[in-house]
Amino acid sequence: MLVSGIEILNKAHREGYGVGAFNFVNFEMLNAIFMAADVAKSPIIVQASEGAIKYMGIDMAVGLVKILSNRYSHIPVALHLDHGTSFESCKKAVDAGFTSVMIDASHHPFKENLEMTKEVVAYAHSKGVSVEAELGRLMGIEDNISVDEKDAVLINPDEAEEFVKATQVDYLAPAIGTSHGAFKFKGEPKLDFERLQEVKVRTNIPLVLHGASAIPDYVREAFLATGGDLKGSKGVPFAFLQEAVKGGINKVNIDTDLRIAFIAEVRRVANSDNTQFDLRKFFTPAMEFVTKLMVERMGVLGSAGKI
């Protein structure tokens, strides 16, 4: 059943678990996400970036989600715009049937971010759609980062409190040291959990972890085994994801893990039979591998069994 983002996340916030927000760019990835939710009995957030919307067409993105949410009517699902860059982009998503949008104005000065978020909240809330915003910049905390630099990059808890009060945003993504993609940490993984807890206490709303892919060893190995290169890749360890959930993270954004797992299977099939050109022979095992990974992740985040 398609519901608003806040309906899913308020429950997660109350009960203290994390819900996976999984990116999709086509039917196969979306189907794998629904299959995993069905197996794990987990609520889900499915999200499309502006690039994904350009690739699929916004009508296709919404249409696919509506069809699958009808097919799996027992699964609460929210359709979220990931990293919306403008009011217009968020409005288009709201008007097309998204039930949650992110306005990502975190690279703008604080006041501008606040004003843009307010404008999106006013429109989205008038249509029953929830809103996410971001504070701070997504980048890794390197071991040698100075205290001043750290404060400039990561979320400021005072600003977070002021921002949430002023904008009435539904959930907030605090920068605490994660980054997008497969290369998150140069040295040992490190996140600012103290800062996270402070933000949770000061805002008391659901919080969002971007750049939350874990790149488990078996996924990296599967990619490497096909001749793929992921040298130096490092994700957020499961134990960190669980600590983040304990610290108040309720929406956990995952894209890179799904991409690597999917393509590892496509490459494996291609390598194993160079006469093969039936798309289904590539995509069926790819969907199965991604589903397995997501079922496991729903267990790690605590959303399994929550429906």
Q: Residue numbers of the site for ligand 13P (CB under 6 A)?
A: 23, 82-83, 180-181, 210-213, 253-257
In the complex, least distance from residue 104 CB atom to ligand 13P, rounded to whole angstroms: 9
Measured CA to CA, the distance from residue 245 to residue 208 in angstroms comes to: 9
Of residues 82, 132, 134, 257, which one binds ligand G3H by CB under 6 A?
A: 82
210 lies in the binding site for Zn ion (CB under 5 A)? yes
Q: Is 170 a catalytic residue?
A: no
Nearer to ligand 13P (CB atom), residue 45 or residue 160? 45
Of residues 91, 125, 180, 246, which one binds ligand G3H by CB under 6 A?
A: 180
Q: Compute φ and ψ for 249, nearest 5 degrees.
A: -80, 130
131 lies in the binding site for ligand G3H (CB under 6 A)? no
In the complex, least distance from residue 212 CB atom to Zn ion, rounded to whole angstroms: 9
**CA atoms within 13 Å, Cβ hemisphere of 17:** 20
Q: Which stretch binds Zn ion (CB under 5 A): 14-22, 63-71, 151-159, 209-217?
A: 209-217
Nearer to Zn ion (CB atom), residue 99 or residue 253? 253
Sequence-separated contacts (24+) of 237-242 with Cβ below 8 Å: 237/189, 238/214, 238/300, 240/189, 240/191, 241/18, 241/209, 241/212, 241/214, 241/300, 241/301, 242/300, 242/301, 242/302
30 Cβ neighbours under 8 A, 6+ residues apart: 24, 46, 64, 65, 68
In the complex, least distance from residue 286 CB atom to ligand G3H, rounded to whole angstroms: 18
Nearer to ligand G3H (CB atom), residue 157 or residue 177? 177
In the complex, least distance from residue 52 CB atom to ligand G3H, rounded to whole angstroms: 5
Fill in the per-residue mask, 17 to 56: x = in contact with ligand G3H (CB under 6 A), - = not in contact. ------x-------------------------x-xx----
80 lies in the binding site for Zn ion (CB under 5 A)? no
184 lies in the binding site for Zn ion (CB under 5 A)? no
Taking CB within 5 to 8 Å according to partner kind, which of ligand 13P, Zn ion, ligand G3H, none is near residue 212? ligand 13P
Fill in the per-residue mask, 199 to 238: x = in contact with ligand G3H (CB under 6 A), - = not in contact. ----------------------------------------
Out of 82, 104, 170, 255, pick the active-site residue: 82
In the complex, least distance from residue 209 CB atom to ligand 13P, rounded to whole angstroms: 8
Nearer to ligand 13P (CB atom), residue 242 or residue 284? 242
Active site residues: 82
Residues that bind ligand G3H (CB under 6 A): 23, 49, 51-52, 82-83, 180, 255
Binding site for Zn ion (CB under 5 A): 210, 253
